[in-house]
Amino acid sequence: MCGIAGALLSETRLNSEEFVRRLERMSHLLHHRGPDGNGVWENGRVGFAHTRLAIIDLSENGKQPMHCGTERGLSITYNGEVYNHGEIRARLEAKGHRFVSHCDTEVVLRGYAEWGQGVLAHLRGMFAFAIWDDREKHLFLARDRMGQKPLYYSFSNGTLLFASEVKALLSWPNVVRSPDYASLHDFLTFGYTVGEGTGFQGVHRLPAGCFLQVGTDMTSQIRQYWAPPYPSEIASQTGHVSELVWCEEFLGRFDTAVKYRQIADLEVGAFLSGGVDSSAVCARMIPQGDRPLSTFSVGFDHDGYDETDSARAVATHLGTDHHSFVMDDSLLNMLARVVWHYDVPYADSSALVSYGLSQKISQKVKVAVSGDGADELLLGYTRYEKLTDMIDGHAPEDTTLNRRRMSFYPERSPSLFDAYIYLMEKFRERHKVAAYEHRLLPQLRHSISERYASLFQAGLVPEIAAAYFDQRTYLTDDILVKMDIAGMANGLEVRSPFMDHHLVEWLSMLPQGVRRLNGESKGLLKAAISPFLPKGITSRPKMGFRVPVTHWLAKEIYEPTRDILLSKKSQERGLFRSAFIRDMLQAHYDGVEDHGTRLWALLTLELWFRTFIDGDGSSPIAEPFSLSGRNV
């Protein structure tokens, strides 16, 4: 697992010393992703930078950038884990390839030498990489199917730049740092940027399951090589198969995914929240492991934010070497640092506790397995059930499906997607109409529903349609971003068996009744895993990594947040009306309405502006808060 960056030049040429200096600067900004080593390479036209977190083949043979001694002149900078690299290696050796290392990087490189872009079909894992093909004179960039590993790129002044994190792109001379207001509009809706959007004009995220090929004349093409399969809703699939058979089938596939994610040349630990997802992962890791499993949980010293007792119960039942941490308000003291690490506008407040926990875990292990992805694949979110209730007319009045509440576009009847956006959005249309200043007002011309309706498949039952949308957006652009950055900021690789694409393909084709066995969310998972866990664990309500944002913004950080959001610097951006922000702050403080998630989005957005638009993004700005606490 690593940090990668590089540049492809067209007309502009750099002398070798200057090219290396720029690549080293990019590498320096990614050092946290790979503290075990770094390297740069350039040939006058193309250059790669790499920082290494050594997991497979810890020797110098795994050093990057790596080159392949064939007539094609191939070079690679690679970030990821291809878990089936041993199987691919055997196939390549049978074709005459000879390897000098035992790492998966060389397998990917020689696989490209053999199959070209077809190598992607062979890879089982998470990855983002760049390969320079000197014979064909093109750069090949690719990202894994689910989007676990990030890859950003920008065309700037006749140069293609790419990197694992945006801050490395911004270090290149003369790269313009300007906000992309359409992307910010998405951010205010969802709390994260969607798809290719990054919040920066001209900086793009390569979509999951896609590759980008660029020639020296800067001609480029993006192609999608994989997408989550279109869900099936064939009733006969449930009619002649017993619950036991479904559970056995699931466990067989899940165990394979778990086994792959324990491949490493050092100890592999696991997140253990006490919920069913991470508990299932730990329960199936232990029989396949060759050493005691280290598990890690975190709680918060506020009522309703601590499930460490449940995690301990699971750890005791499974016999793991368990480590439990309790965070407190002093976690806020690293907010500016977290904003810097995330690069793009990002308002998922659980990133704070994920970052704090990853920091603790990295002192014990370099690799930890998580339960990310189960909710989207197995219908685990309560909002899926709420959506069905809205359609059936059984929901509370403030969420019933009607035109007035769903949309500010009266010429269009509200759709199922409008209803789901209503459940997801942070800022509703009425908030945006009241809040937006001149920079953002043009974004109201088209609704969010119109922009992303193509990802919400018609003809499916509401829960399946919502989960499929989440797989393409929320999972890739929020959940996986959160864990990649929180982990890699601390030199920790995070793996998730639920993201195994073979498992994803199988689960995606299961109808609602199988995923919700016995009428329960994640019913298939619960039925399959309950024999291995303490009684009551599978019936616990979902909690997740939460932080008390609503409390903080009404108490400890109310005044400094008010000062930041109503500052002259903030108001001069032309984004929001000061009267709206003032009223929202007061209503939240008085307990009239909970604006916690909206205020947190505005706060993190302003800190993002100060870090990357006002500043050069080379380091975090000064921390806005200073709260005492033990934070152990």
Tens of pLDDT, residue by residue over 349-389, are 999 999 999 999 999 999 999 999 999 999 999 999 999 88
184-202 pLDDT, tens digit each: 999 999 999 999 999 999 9
Q: What is the mean pLDDT of residues 156-178?
A: 95
Q: How many CB atoms lie within 10 A of CB 24?
A: 15
* The predicted structure's pLDDT at residue 213: 98
Does 446 have pLDDT greater than 90? no
Residue 404: pLDDT over 70: no
Position 395 scores a pLDDT of 54
CA–CA separation, 378 and 122 (whole Å): 26
pLDDT value for 632: 42
**pLDDT higher than threshold 50 for residue 236:** no
pLDDT band at 436 (very low <50, low <70, confident <90, very high): very high
CA 32 to chain centre: 17
Radius of gyration of the chain (CA): 24
Distance CA 126, CA 108 (A): 12
Q: 588: which 2 tokens?
A: 């939240």
| CB neighbours of residue 94 within 10 Å | 8
What are 586's two structure tokens?
A: 């007061």
pLDDT tier, 458 (very low <50, low <70, confident <90, very high otherwise) = confident
| Region 236-379+474-539: CATH code | 3.40.50.620
| Domains in the chain: boundaries | 2-224, 236-379+474-539, 382-469, 549-614
What does the angle CA 210 – CA 177 – CA 598 come to, to the nearest 5 degrees?
80
- High-pLDDT (> 70) share of the chain, %: 92
Name the percent of the chain lying above pLDDT 90. Answer: 78
Q: For tokens 């024999």, name the residue.
A: 531
Spatial distance between the Cα atoms of 594 and 301, rounded to a whole number of angstroms: 21
Q: Are 7 and 157 in contact (CB under 8 A)?
A: no
56, 104 contact by CB (below 8 A): yes
Dihedral sign, CA of 361, 162, 152, 156? positive
CA atoms in the 13 A half-sphere facing the CB of 301: 11
Kindly indicate the confidence band of residue 12, based on its pLDDT and cuts at 50, 70 and 90: low
Residue 215 DSSP label: E
The pLDDT tens digits of the residues spanning 566-615 come to 999 999 999 999 999 999 999 999 999 999 999 999 999 999 999 999 99
| Contact (CB, 8 A) for 351 and 485 | yes
Max avg pLDDT among 8-22, 55-69, 187-201: 187-201
Question: In this structure, are residues 46 and 102 in contact, taking their beta carbons and an 8 Å threshold?
Answer: no
pLDDT the model gives residue 235: 40
pLDDT of residue 538: 84
Average pLDDT over residues 276-284: 97
What is the reported pLDDT for 46?
Answer: 96
Q: Summarize pLDDT for 70-92 with one digit per residue, the tens.
A: 667 999 999 999 999 999 999 99
Cα dihedral sign for 267, 271, 274, 280? negative
Buried-state track 388-415, b at ≥16 Cβ within 10 A, e below 16:
bebbeeebeeebbbeeebbbebeeeebb
Contact 520, 384 (CB under 8 A): no
Q: Band the pLDDT of 205: cuts 50, 70, 90.
A: very high
Q: Given this model, what pLDDT does residue 409 score?
A: 54
The domain 2-224 is classified under which CATH number: 3.10.20.740, 3.40.640.10, 3.60.20.10, 3.40.710.10? 3.60.20.10
The 8-class DSSP code of residue 532 comes to G
491 φ/ψ angles, rounded to the nearest 5 degrees: 65, 35
For residue 71, the model assigns a pLDDT of 67
Residue 493 has pLDDT above 70, yes or no: yes
Q: What is the CB-side half-sphere exposure of residue 9 using CA atoms within 13 A?
A: 17
Q: Give the mean pLDDT of the chain.
A: 91
Per-residue pLDDT for 445 more than 90? no
